[in-house]
């Protein structure tokens, strides 16, 4: 058996081969009451469909820059891994005017319109619902992704040594460097197979992405990703931790 590719998509493929039925991402939005749990297999299916959308419908090529203007959300995690599968460079909260395409939640649509290329909008409504009316100048992710294929194969093999993730104005990581840092973070946090990390951090920094997806994925664990928790008291979060069998917490 060949060694897994040292990319974020490679980490997901390894998890899929090992135990596709285990939980990977459990998402809470405490503004809406939403709870979504995705197994490795379900998450990987979303990634495949999104990667096919990127490669075929949006004509994205390896090295193209994607401005990811999204909060901590399970669909943001999907887009991150789909970009890894296609060789697209993710610019986290980056400048849309300098990107080949932009992926935006509902709160950043005005900023996203600066992108000269393809624009994708996500409503972030419960159950991945569509916008009531598609924002002008965008495609609605929820309307386009269901019809995409369940299997993905890149037209060009992804180079782990190529740029993958830009965080801020000074930090850019290759796919391999991203995996290495995620593994280092997992070790530093004491994560291992079966660990379940609860994160309330936003996806606006390396630390947010690492705790909210990358480190648990690298360790063979899972994440409980919580958004809009400002109004929750400590007792509520503690009860959630117990119900979700959380082993580690990062706030």
As a whole number, mean pLDDT of residues 163-170 equals 90
pLDDT over threshold 60, residue 1: no
As a whole number, mean pLDDT of residues 203-228 equals 97
Please count the other Cβ atoms lying within 10 Å of the Cβ belonging to residue 32: 12
Reported as a single tens digit per residue, the pLDDT across 130-148 is 999 999 999 999 999 999 9
pLDDT over threshold 50, residue 246: yes
pTM (global) more than 0.75: yes
pLDDT over threshold 60, residue 2: no
As a whole number, mean pLDDT of residues 91-109 equals 97
User: Residue 4's pLDDT band (boundaries 50, 70, 90)?
Assistant: low
Mean pLDDT, all residues of the chain: 96
What's the CA gap between 122 and 245, in Å, rounded? Answer: 30
- Among the residue ranges 4-18, 50-64, 104-118, the one predicted with the least confidence is 4-18
Reported as a single tens digit per residue, the pLDDT across 34-54 is 999 999 999 999 999 999 999
Domain at 8-250: CATH architecture? 3-Layer(aba) Sandwich (3.40)
User: Residue 67's pLDDT band (boundaries 50, 70, 90)?
Assistant: very high
pLDDT over threshold 90, residue 127: no
Closest CA to 177 of 157, 161, 188: 161
Strand boundaries in the chain, DSSP class E: 23-29, 34-39, 65-69, 89-92, 101-104, 118-121, 139-140, 163-167, 171-174, 196-199, 222-227, 248-250
pLDDT of residue 168: 82
pLDDT of residue 131: 97
pLDDT of residue 193: 97
User: Residue 170's pLDDT band (boundaries 50, 70, 90)?
Assistant: confident
């Amino acid at each position: 058996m060949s060694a897994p590719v040292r990319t974020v998509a490679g980490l997901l493929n390894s998890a899929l081969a090992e135990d596709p039925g285990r939980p990977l991402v459990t998402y809470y939005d405490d503004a809406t009451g939403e709870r979504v749990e995705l197994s490795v297999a379900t998450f990987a299916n979303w990634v495949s469909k999104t990667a096919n959308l990127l490669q075929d419908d949006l004509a994205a090529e390896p090295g193209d820059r994607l401005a990811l203007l999204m909060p901590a959300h399970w669909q943001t995690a999907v887009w991150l891994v789909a970009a890894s599968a296609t060789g697209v460079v993710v610019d986290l909260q980056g400048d849309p005017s300098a990107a080949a395409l932009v992926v935006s939640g509902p709160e950043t649509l005005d900023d996203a319109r600066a992108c000269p290329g393809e624009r994708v909008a996500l409503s972030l409504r419960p159950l991945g619902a569509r916008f009531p009316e598609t924002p002008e100048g965008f495609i609605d992710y929820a309307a386009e992704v269901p019809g995409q294929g369940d299997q993905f194969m890149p037209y060009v093999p992804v180079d782990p040594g190529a740029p993958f993730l830009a965080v801020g104005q000074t930090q850019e990581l290759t796919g391999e460097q991203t995996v290495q840092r995620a593994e280092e973070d997992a070790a530093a946090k004491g994560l291992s197979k079966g660990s379940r990390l609860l994160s309330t951090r936003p996806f606006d920094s390396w630390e947010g992405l690492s705790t909210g997806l990358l480190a648990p994925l690298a360790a063979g664990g899972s994440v409980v990703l919580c958004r809009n928790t400002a109004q929750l008291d400590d007792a509520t979060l503690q009860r959630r931790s117990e119900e979700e069998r959380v082993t580690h917490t990062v706030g």
